[in-house]
Chain A
């Protein structure tokens, strides 16, 4: 490309970006996205501000008729609570266990109309060591029931063990967590891989969704710009001064720069959300998205899988950028063939469907273990960027498969440029849908 054409191409890139950023649509969409991301990351604080209470703990009143169960139950509830926090589950409630000294009737009155209070009556049983009555105002959720049941069962076991004259050392050994040694029969698998799989199970949905969204933004942006210039006939003046090649690449570069900028903005909103959470102290509250990110980051740092991420992250980024380019090339070619935005919206439907297929296959990839079909799909350009990283992390494909996907996308981009440019040159100055496909095939042959 001659230097004056190259200069004009970069000017067009700047104008395209400026036009996009100045649109009301872009401003409104980003305000909404920022509000949504920051809001979701601080949802607990927001709910608390409107009267909700994430700090309110459930009080478990224990009426211990055995006079020996309360201490054991209290310690078991503590252990279960602690385990739940370590798992970083969003659902874990916190419990305050209190000994209840009055009668069962009074306990029922205490709990009446209060969903944050639970009553447990533990009594002797000849056949079953202890009998337990669980009293609550309303239904308990499954997790809560499981935890209380688990604490009661552990209490029962502990009581039985105590009565069977086992020494304190033996008792301590029984309660120590079991050490599990992992053996992988597939030699290529390591414990690090397993950790990374767990971590990326959280990370990739966070990346895949923005990738899918950005793909749609990209296709829409290029289609709208080319059609705007075509329908207003401004294209004739532009192409009279700028070669179709420079024009085509200006759209592709501007589109990709835009999605990268939008991607950075999304991460910036997430960072603002995270900082906001730190500043207002939300990170101490259970149930926040920030905890999730924080725990993932600390797991990554602590798990020692940084080494494998060193190649996974760059390869994934390369594949994603190349795929963005492929989408933008295809969108540019299709947009040049249409005469108005309605036509383009129809013509872009297959692109959206391809992208959707990739998205669903990626989110469901862990369900297709060992499937050759899904492995083949991971090579297909346009889908590979969204599917391959997930499959790589669940161990379905290796690094070589990602490299094959990258090579295939590069080849696709080369073919799109080589043949697509011919179509683009004819398409952008064509204002009639009559004999469109014939014109395009002729352009390809020429």
Chain B
């Protein structure tokens, strides 16, 4: 289990991470979210031992993370971290060996992964000759080459088309199923929502939301009702507890303060004819994120 307890990092007088605590268990995919400069990369660097923390502790299976442990970690950085003059094979041999892997293991695992990512023909190509998306694939392959116990993914879908995003998703889920602990960071909330049962949303180094996604959504209370039929926004705007009504192409989205308002909206809808859709949905993570981050910004 990866455990962060009260992790704090100062750069001079600047507080980059403020008392951050969370746990990631084997098989869990954990979301670490935040706007740019929130302290995510600093947190990743502290987990990897690249930066010393000012306060707190980070352990993996109860052990402080040092160079004996980092061989079991995979790290995909937000920016490309490939030596572009090397070929794919050379790059994988280089990073694999630095993770303590044997050459034959690296090469057989590489062949397997290149097949799975549908790029076996790139094995002897130089990294700089590959497209951005294919470079991202190779970077991902180098991160999971050692079948890591802990995998840190900082914006893994950057530069990928929807088809390749699906390949990545499948691989990430498969790794979690095999027992890897995965920390995932992305600006794309729909991806985080899809993978992560647990998450932390950071703002200016502080965790503003933390816990299981289900609980976070419940605590958020607000719901969205989608109505399709012979209705207009005016029908709902005057109902107490309705925050906003958004007109989409062929339906209305009624944002309500809490579940208690659902009955009031339903009463109005039930009086109307030709209603083809009435669905109550949880708020999206994106809404929660924007709302919480917005609140904190205002404060």
Contact = CB atoms under 8 A, between A and B. Distances in A.
Interface of A: 2, 4-5, 8, 11-12, 15, 19, 228-229, 232-243, 429, 442
B85 A237 contact: no
Contact of B67 (A11, A12, A233, A243): A243
A237 B67 contact: no
A15 B91 CA distance: 11
Interface string B48-90: 1111000000000000000110110101010111111100000
Contact of A11 (B50, B97, B142): B97
A237 B84 contact: no
A4 B83 contact: no
A241 B68 CA distance: 9
A239 B50 CA distance: 7
B79 A240 contact: no
B255 interface: no
Given A11-B98, A236-B50, A237-B75, A242 B80 contact: no
B99 interface: yes
28 contacts: A2-B67, A4-B100, A8-B97, A11-B97, A11-B98, A12-B98, A15-B94, A232-B82, A233-B77, A233-B79, A233-B80, A233-B81, A234-B82, A234-B83, A235-B81, A236-B75, A236-B81, A238-B98, A240-B50, A240-B70, A241-B70, A241-B95, A241-B98, A241-B99, A241-B100, A242-B98, A243-B67, A429-B50
Given A233-B77, A241-B98, 10 more contacts: A2-B68, A19-B85, A228-B85, A233-B81, A236-B45, A237-B98, A237-B142, A240-B49, A429-B45, A429-B50
Interface of B: 12, 45, 48-51, 67-68, 70-71, 73, 75, 77, 79-85, 94-95, 97-100, 142
Nearest to A14: B97
A15 B98 CA distance: 11
Contact of B83 (A228, A241, A242): A228
A125 B67 CA distance: 98
Nearest to A18: B90
B48 to A, nearest CB: 5
A232 B84 contact: yes
B139 to A, nearest CB: 9
Contacts of B95: 237, 241
Contacts of A2: 67-68
A44 B137 CA distance: 59
Nearest to A237: B81
Contacts of B68: 2, 4
Contacts of A237: 75, 77, 81, 95, 98, 142
A318 B71 CA distance: 38
A236 B70 CA distance: 12
Nearest to B142: A237
B67 A242 contact: yes
Given A11-B98, A240-B48, A4 B84 contact: no
From DSSP, what is the main secondary structure of chain B's interface residues?
loop
B81 A232 contact: yes
A232 B79 CA distance: 8
Nearest to B84: A232
The 9 residue pairs across chains A and B that have the minimum distance between CB atoms: A241-B98, A233-B81, A240-B48, A234-B83, A233-B79, A237-B81, A234-B81, A236-B77, A241-B70
Contacts of A232: 80-84
Nearest to A429: B50
B36 to A, nearest CB: 15
Nearest to A231: B84
A100 B81 CA distance: 84
Given A11-B98, A232-B82, A233-B79, A241 B50 contact: no
Contacts of A233: 77, 79-81
A209 B201 CA distance: 61
Nearest to A240: B48
Nearest to B75: A240
A442 B52 CA distance: 14
Nearest to A15: B94
Contacts of A12: 98
B81 A241 contact: no
Interface centre among B73, B80, B94 (most CB of A within 10 A): B94
B101 to A, nearest CB: 11
Contacts of B83: 228-229, 232, 234
Contacts of B82: 232, 234
A223 to B, nearest CB: 16
Nearest to A442: B12
A5 B67 contact: yes
A4 B85 CA distance: 27
Contacts of B97: 8, 11
B80 A240 contact: no
Contacts of B73: 240
Contacts of A234: 81-83
Contacts of B75: 236-237, 240
A228 B81 CA distance: 11
Of listed A5, A11, A240, A243, residue having the most chain B CB within 10 A: A240
Contacts of B99: 241
B293 to A, nearest CB: 25
A241 B77 contact: no
Nearest to A2: B67
Contacts of B79: 233
Contacts of B49: 240
A11 B98 CA distance: 8
A66 B238 CA distance: 140
